Every structure is written in structure tokens, then in C-alpha cells.
Chain A
Amino acid sequence: MIPSLRVFAARVTGLAISTFARFMTAPRAIWQGIEPVPKQRVYFANHSSNGDFVLLWTALPTPLRRQTRPVAALDYWLTSPLRAFIGREVFNAVLIDRRPEARTEDPVAQMVAALDTGSSLIIFPEGQRNSSDAALLPFKSGLYHLAKARPAVDLVPVWIANLNRVMPKGEVIPVPLICTLTFGTPLHLEAQETKEAFLARATQALLALKGQA
């Protein structure tokens, strides 16, 4: 395809996807801890549905959305040409390989490189979809390494409520129910803070938003 046509197709597809997400979930963004201003951020959210990052991406105002890249699993998004187009061109995702044995690039280095170009990121520190009864799965260490590598960047907890009821795991057709996204107060790695302490603090910050959603 001609490059400009690809860009156009990506824009249209992106618009279609976010319109559909709005129609189904009428997402409501509650900017509790931050203002929706174009500042570089890492949004970290709970992960209960495949639609999570689409919804977060949709809930961001357009200028913020343009500079925000979801971090997604390469082993999922490169399995078909359509997925690859949506992942790469529409969402401009940072594709990381979740399989340590197969990967050639370090995921944290990839995320840091994306931050260094000025992008904001969407990450799901649980590392996989949570279909358990627990509110959150234990966080992977990626968030900590990111906080350590670029301590100035705001790490913003985002609690996504209700999306697991819109589309429970294993279902194909979503039910239109209202979803709420609560944006909390940014976190930074503190001096001398250990990995465990930081991840526990990040987990608590995210869980604290759940009760209010």
C-alpha cells in the first residue's frame, strides 16, 4: 500500500474502533489525580479484558492519544496481517515479546526508547489478563525498571471498572455497559526504594482507585 494511504486507513480504523468503544461502553474518564494535559506519562492500569487498552486509548483526549502508545504483546499482535496492521499502524503499539527465550530485544529497553522519543505509554503491569477473583494479579517488575530508568516521568495509575462485565473472558460479543476510568495521582520511584516496596506501593495506588469507581 502507498504510505499515505496506510496512514489514512490507520486513522479511519482508529476512529472506527474508538467510536465502537464509545457506543458500547460510554466510557467516563474521572481525572482525579491529574489533569488531561499533554504531559509525558506512563499510564498503568488493571487488565481484565482485551478491550482495556482500547478503552484507555479512547478515553484520552485526542492530543494526548496521538502521543500515547500502548505496550502490547508481540506474540499476540503479529500473528495475522490484520492484527499487525491494527497493532502497529492504528495503535502505534510498542510490541514486546513476552517469551524470554525467544526475544531479541529487552522489553524495558524498548519502552525506555519509546519514552525517549517523547511518547507516553499505556502498560498493564500484571502482564496478563486477570480472570481470577483477585482484584489484581502480582505486578511484574517492568514498571519498577521503567521508573528507575526514567525517574522524572509520571507513572499514573488508572483503574478501569466494569469492562470485564462488558466482555467477560471467552465471550465474543460485548454487552453495552458503562465503564469508568479513574486516573489517580502520579507516582515516582523514591530514593532508596526497593523493587518490592515500589511495586507494593504502585499496587496499592491502583487498588485505592477501585473503591471510588
Chain B
Amino acid sequence: MTSPHLLWLLAGVGTILVVASIIGEILRARLSPTGQNPVIENLNARINAWWVMVICLALAFVAGKPGVVLLFALCSFAALREFLTLTTHNRADHWSLIACFFLILPLQYWFLAGDWYGMYSIFIPVYAFLLLPVISSLRGSTKDFLIRVSETQWALMICVYCASHVPALLYLQIPGFEGRNVILIAYLIFVVQLSDVMQYVWGKLLGRTKVAPNLSPSKTWEGLVGGTLTATAVGTALYWMTPFSPLEAAGMCLLITLMGFFGGLVMSAIKRDRGIKDWGHLIAGHGGFLDRLDSVIFAAPIFFHITRWVWSTT
């Protein structure tokens, strides 16, 4: 599944990480030699976690379709665990929660691995949507019923359904692009995450005006504009490895970086409501899987469907 373009992209990301690691160590030596500066320590923890994430993704790419599907199934599992830890449910929902993790999640990725588009594109919005409240209602508890079933459904949509659209990109059939679909995944993740990183960098450098002070103190207009434009410019410059023309690539990049930004905003609103700063703790420096994936999760289904409508024959 490796292609020269993918190797170029990975080499580029590797170079960025090497540079970032060097800068991180220089900053640490200058400003935080004994680890007293939390911003520098967090920056270095983030860079180290990026190494791990990029290596996992690269290994999955090497392992081919099963590897990528498995990786995202595991990410969905971790994300769902983070999300459902914070939702409203009671003992009556025990079996519907078990169904989310051990039935619906594996089935969604199973349908995906079998390239059954007609099923995986409606399985959670239709079948799970109707099945789960039935399971919960059979246990007889009516307290907060609508809140419980809605939050569970929302968790599945975000953590499983939307996230599964990343590996779904492998199954598109684009004339002249055969055997290179993995580039679509690498491109989507690279552009969206670059936008996140550049929003962080521009925000730290120039950030003054908050976009939504009630939702997130770290999202600023300066960061948003700087981050999305930087990522769009880089993404456009990489059009040659995608099925898109330069103009199409620019449009796509703008779309997915904005979706990514709004994804972060929406997920911040949920976190703020539940009184937490991070979804989890498993990715050092970043928080949880959802903290890192929120933007990709919001961008992936839109990227998938537009690519499918316009470029794919399936």
C-alpha cells in the first residue's frame, strides 16, 4: 500500500517532527532546564506523542487495509470509552452500552472492511438509532430517558460513525488513482492536523481575539485564520499527490480545515459543559484520543462524501 507519494509525505512529516523535537529541546534547555515551565513541557510532551501517533499510522499504512481499519477501530473504541464516561446513563442502559462497544462498533468496521457501503453508511444512523433505545426501554427506567438515549447515539455517531469515514476512504474507486487511496487518508489527516498545530502556533504568537470565549480560551481568530490558511496553502501545494486540481485541492483544504476547527469548537462545548479540560489522559500532552481526533472526526465524513460524489465511480 506504500506509494512514492506516501513515502514523500511521511518523510516530510518526519522532517517536521525532527525540527520540532530540536526546537523543543532548545526551548527546554533555555527556558525550562528543570521542567519548571509547563508550556514548554507540554509542547515537548505533544511532540513526543506526535512521534508515536505518526509511527502507528505509518505501521498501519504498511499493513494495508486491514491495518488501517483495525487502527481506526481501536481509536473509535478509545474515543467511545472517553465519550461514554461523561454521558448520562444509568443501570438500565448497561446492555445498550455493552452493545455500543461490543456489537455496533465491531459491526460498523466489519461492514467497512467488506466494502458494504449501503450498510456502513446507514448502520448507526438507522439500525443502532432504533435498536439502542429499545434495549434501554426494556429495562424499564424512564428517568432522563431521552437524554440518555440521545447522548449514547451522539457518542456513537461521533466516535464510531464519523471516525470510520477515515478508513472508508480506502474503498473509493477513483479512475487514474488506483492503489493510491491511502494518500487520501494521509492527506486528510495531515492537512487537518497541520491546521490544528498551526492554529496553536499562530494563536500562541498573535492570538488576541477569542472566537468563542465561553467555549474555549485557546481558540482565537488570529489562530483560526493563520492556521487554516497555512494548512490550506501547504495542502494546495501538495495537490499533485491527490486526485484534485490545485483549485480543487485548495477548496477541499479550506473545507476540511474549517470543519476541523468547528469540530474542535463543538467538542470544547461538550467538555466545558461537563466541567473537564481533556477527554482523557492516554496521549501525553494532548489529553485523550478525542482531544486529538475531534477535528479529523468532523472533517472525515464531508471529505469522504465530496470525494465520492465528484471523483469516485462507486
Interface pair B85/A177, CB less than 8 Å apart? yes
Asked if A26 contacts B94 (CB within 8 A), the reply is no
**B299 at the A/B interface (Cβ < 8 Å)?**
no
| Least CB distance, A34 to chain B, in whole angstroms | 19
Contact of A28 with B281 in the complex, beta carbons under 8 Å? yes
A149 within 8 A of B: no
Quick one: which of A171, A176, A178 contacts B94, CB cutoff 8 A?
Answer: A171
Segment at the interface with A among B40-48, B75-83, B202-210:
B75-83
Find out whether the CB atom of B91 lies under 8 angstroms from the CB atom of A175.
Answer: no
A176 to B78, CA, bound (A): 9
Interface pair A168/B94, CB less than 8 Å apart: yes
Which residues of chain A are within 8 angstroms of B85 by Cβ–Cβ distance?
162, 177-178
**Which parts of A129-165 form the interface with B (CB within 8 Å)?**
162, 165
A2 at the interface (CB under 8 A from B): no
Kindly state whether residue B50 has any CB partner on chain A within 8 Å: no
| Contact indicator B82/A178 (Cβ below 8 Å) | yes
Chain A interface size, as a band, is 10 to 19
> Is A82 engaged at the interface, CB distance under 8 Å to the other chain?
no
Q: In the complex, which residue of chain A has the Cβ closest to the Cβ of B100?
A: A175
Number of A-B contacts (CB under 8 A): 32
Given known A-B contacts A26-B78, A26-B81, A168-B91, A175 and B281 have beta carbons under 8 A apart? no
Q: Is A1 an interface residue (CB 8 A)?
A: no
Given contacts A168-B91, A178-B82, A178-B85, whether A173 and B281 have CB atoms under 8 Å apart is: no
B243–chain A nearest beta-carbon distance, Å = 38
A171 to B101, alpha carbons, bound, how many Å? Answer: 16
For B24, what are the chain A residues with a Cβ–Cβ distance below 8 Å?
none
Find chain B residues with CB under 8 A from A28 CB: 280-281
Roughly how many angstroms separate A62 CA and B256 CA in the complex, as a whole number? 44
Q: Is B280 touching A178 in the complex (CB atoms < 8 A)?
A: yes
Evaluate contact between A175 and B94: CB separation under 8 angstroms: yes
What residues on B are CB-neighbors of A178 within 8 Å?
A: 81-82, 85, 280
A25 to chain B: closest residue by CB: B81
What 1/0 mask marks residues of chain A from 167 to 189 whose CB sits below 8 Å from any chain B CB?
01001010111100000000000
Q: Which residues in A have some Cβ–Cβ distance to B below 8 Å?
A: 26, 28, 162, 165, 168, 171, 173, 175-178
- Which 3 residue pairs spanning A and B have beta carbons closest together? A175-B97, A178-B85, A177-B85
> Is chain B's binding surface mostly helix, strand, loop or mixed?
helix
Could you tell me the distance in whole angstroms from the C-beta of A30 to the nearest C-beta in chain B? 9
A173 and B98 within 8 A (CB):
yes
Is B84 positioned at the interface, with any CB of A under 8 Å from its CB? yes
- Interface membership of chain B positions 26-52, coded 1 if the CB is closer than 8 angstroms to chain A and 0 otherwise: 000000000000000000000000000
A26-B282, A28-B281 in contact; A176/B81 too (CB < 8 A)?
yes
Of the residues A168, A171, A173, A177, contact of B81 by C-beta under 8 Å: A177
Among A162, A165, A168, A176, contact of B101 (Cβ-Cβ < 8 Å): A176
A171-B91, A176-B101 known; 17 new pairs, CB 8 Å cut-off, are A26-B81, A26-B281, A28-B280, A28-B281, A162-B85, A165-B89, A168-B91, A168-B94, A171-B94, A173-B102, A175-B94, A176-B77, A176-B80, A176-B81, A177-B81, A177-B84, A178-B82
A-B contact pairs, 22 of them (CB 8 A): A26-B81, A26-B280, A162-B85, A165-B89, A168-B91, A171-B91, A171-B94, A173-B98, A173-B102, A175-B84, A175-B94, A175-B97, A175-B101, A176-B77, A176-B81, A176-B101, A177-B84, A177-B85, A177-B97, A178-B81, A178-B82, A178-B280
A5 to B91, CA, bound (A): 41
Distance in Å: Cβ of B158 to nearest Cβ of chain A: 16
Contacts of B81 in A (CB 8 A): 26, 176-178
Distance between Cα atoms of A162 and B87 in the complex (Å): 12
A175→B98 contact, CB < 8 A = yes
Tell me how far the C-beta of A36 lies from the nearest C-beta in chain B, rounded to whole angstroms: 15
Closest to A165 in B: B89
How far, in whole Å, are A162 and B82 apart by their CA atoms in the complex? 12
Chain B residues near A177 (CB-CB < 8 A):
81, 84-85, 97
Chain B neighbourhood of A171, CB < 8 A: 91, 94
Chain A residues with Cβ below 8 Å from B281 are 26, 28
Which residues on A sit within 8 Å (CB–CB) of B77? 176
CB closest chain-A residue, reference B101: A176
Q: List which B92-136 residues lie within 8 A (CB) of chain A.
A: 94, 97-98, 101-102
Complex: A26 Cα to B77 Cα, angstroms:
11
Cα(A176)–Cα(B100), bound, Å: 10
Report Cα–Cα, A28/B78, bound state, in Å. 14
CA distance A119 to B208 in the complex (A): 55
A126 to chain B, nearest CB (A): 20
Residues of A within 8 A of B101 (CB): 175-176
Bound-state Cα–Cα, A193 to B25, Å = 52
Count chain B CB atoms within 10 A of each CB in A165, A173, A177 and give the residue with the most.
A177
Q: Which of B77, B94, B97, B280 has the most CB of A within 10 A?
A: B94
